Structure 1
Amino acid sequence: MQQEFPVKTLCRDCVTLTTGEETPPRRCPSCGGPRLVHHTELESLSFAHLDCDAFYASVEKRDRPELRDKPVIVGGGQRGVVSAACYVARLYGVRSAMPMFKALSLCPDAEVLRPDMAKYREVSRAIRDRMSALTPQIEPLSLDEAFLDLSGTSRLHRASPAECLARLAADIERDLAVSVSIGLSTCKLLAKIASDLDKPRGFAVIGASEAADFLADKPVSILWGVGSALQKKLLSDGIRLVRDLRPYEESELMARYGAMGRRLHLFARGQDPRPIEADAPAKSLSSETTFEQDIQDLDSLQHHLWPLCEKLARRLRDKDVAGKTVTLKLRTGDFRLQTRSRQLFAPTQSAETLYEMGHTLLRENWKPGGYRLIGIGAADLVRGELADPPDFLDPQRTRRIAVEKAIDGLNRKLGTDAVRKGRSFTP
Structure 2
Amino acid sequence: MNALCRDCFWTGQDRPRRCPACASPRIVAHEELERLSIAHMDCDAFYASVEKRDRPELRDVPVIVGGGKRGVVTTCCYIARIKGVRSAMPMFQALRACPEAVVIRPEFAKYKFESRRIMAMIAELTPLVQPLSLDEAWIDLSGTERLHGSAPAVTLARLQARIEAETGLTVSIGLAANKFLAKIASDLDKPRGFSVIGGQEAQAFLAPRPVGVLPGVGPAMVRSLSQAGFTTVGDIARADVKVLATRFGAHGLRLHQLAHGRDARPVNPDEGRKGISAETTFFEDLRSLADLEEKLAPLCERVARQARAGGVAGRVVQLKLKTADFKILTRRRTLPVPTQTAKTMFAIGRELLAGEAKGRSYRLIGIGLAELVEADAVEADFFAGDEKRALAEEKTLDAIRARFGPGAVISGRSLRSRDAAQD
Q: After the TM superposition, which of the residue ranges 219-228 and 277-286 deviates more from structure 2?
A: 277-286
Aligned to 2:253: 262
Matched, 1:409 2:403: no
3-state secondary structure, aligned to 1:196? coil
Q: Deviations over 1:133-188 (max 9, x none)?
A: 21111111111111100001111111111111111111111221111111100001
Aligned equivalents of 2:415, 2:117: Cα separation in 1 = 40
3-state secondary structure, aligned to 1:407? helix
Give, as a single letter, the amino acid of the residue that structure 1 aligns with 2:8. Answer: C
Q: Deviations over 1:346-394 (max 9, x none)?
A: 11112121111111111112342321111111111111112264549xx
Matching residue within 352, 357, 363 for 1:361: 352
Q: Is the 8 A contact 1:390 1:398 kept in 2?
A: no
Aligned to 1:221: 212
Evaluate the alpha carbon distance shift between residue 67 and residue 420 of structure 1 in structure 2; reply closer, same or farther with a 3 A threshold: closer
Aligned to 1:18: 12
Evaluate the alpha carbon distance shift between residue 116 and residue 401 of structure 1 in structure 2; reply closer, same or farther with a 3 A threshold: closer
1:213 Cα offset (Å): 0.4
Aligned to 1:205: 196
Aligned ranges 1:308-347 → 2 under 5 Å: 308-347=299-338
Matching residue within 247, 263, 279 for 1:272: 263
Aligned equivalents of 2:337, 2:361: Cα separation in 1 = 33
Matching residue within 271, 278, 281 for 1:287: 278
Provide the identity percentage. 53
Evaluate the alpha carbon distance shift between residue 47 and residue 418 of structure 1 in structure 2; reply closer, same or farther with a 3 A threshold: same
Give, as a single letter, the amino acid of the residue that structure 1 aligns with 2:41. Answer: L
Aligned ranges 1:146-157 → 2 under 5 Å: 146-157=137-148
Aligned equivalents of 1:208, 1:405: Cα separation in 2 = 50
Q: Is the 8 A contact 1:330 1:371 kept in 2?
A: yes
Evaluate the alpha carbon distance shift between residue 45 and residue 399 of structure 1 in structure 2; reply closer, same or farther with a 3 A threshold: closer
Aligned to 2:110: 119
Q: Is the 8 A contact 1:283 1:381 kept in 2?
A: yes
Aligned equivalents of 1:177, 1:327: Cα separation in 2 = 37
Matching residue within 98, 102, 109 for 1:107: 98
Evaluate the alpha carbon distance shift between residue 421 and residue 65 of structure 1 in structure 2; reply closer, same or farther with a 3 A threshold: closer
Aligned ranges 1:381-420 → 2 under 5 Å: 381-387=372-378, 389=381, 391=383, 398-420=388-410
Aligned equivalents of 1:178, 1:195: Cα separation in 2 = 16
3-state secondary structure, aligned to 2:159? helix
Q: Is the 8 A contact 2:287 2:358 kept in 1?
A: no
Evaluate the alpha carbon distance shift between residue 396 and residue 197 of structure 1 in structure 2; reply closer, same or farther with a 3 A threshold: closer
Matched, 1:167 2:158: yes
Give, as a single letter, the amino acid of the residue that structure 2 aligns with 1:8. Answer: N
Evaluate the alpha carbon distance shift between residue 396 and residue 61 of structure 1 in structure 2; reply closer, same or farther with a 3 A threshold: closer
TM-score, structure 2 as length reference: 0.94
Q: Is the 8 A contact 2:275 2:371 kept in 1?
A: yes
Aligned equivalents of 1:185, 1:68: Cα separation in 2 = 32
Aligned equivalents of 2:382, 2:302: Cα separation in 1 = 23
1:249 Cα offset (Å): 4.2
Aligned equivalents of 1:376, 1:248: Cα separation in 2 = 39
Matched, 1:48 2:39: yes
Aligned ranges 1:84-103 → 2 under 5 Å: 84-103=75-94
Q: Is the 8 A contact 2:275 2:368 kept in 1?
A: yes
TM-score, structure 1 as length reference: 0.93
Matching residue within 45, 50, 60 for 2:51: 60
Evaluate the alpha carbon distance shift between residue 336 and residue 420 of structure 1 in structure 2; reply closer, same or farther with a 3 A threshold: same
1:59 Cα offset (Å): 1.1
1:421 Cα offset (Å): 3.7
Aligned to 1:129: 120
Aligned equivalents of 1:70, 1:172: Cα separation in 2 = 23
Q: Deviations over 1:202-247 (max 9, x none)?
A: 1111001100100111111111111111111111111111111123
Aligned equivalents of 2:129, 2:375: Cα separation in 1 = 24
Give, as a single letter, the amino acid of the residue that structure 1 aligns with 2:249. Answer: G
Matched, 1:426 2:416: yes
3-state secondary structure, aligned to 2:24? coil
3-state secondary structure, aligned to 2:319? strand
Evaluate the alpha carbon distance shift between residue 399 and residue 60 of structure 1 in structure 2; reply closer, same or farther with a 3 A threshold: closer
Provide structure 2 residue ranges, at least 5 long, that are not aligned to the other structure: 418-423
Aligned to 2:19: 28
Aligned to 1:39: 30
Matching residue within 211, 234, 244 for 1:253: 244
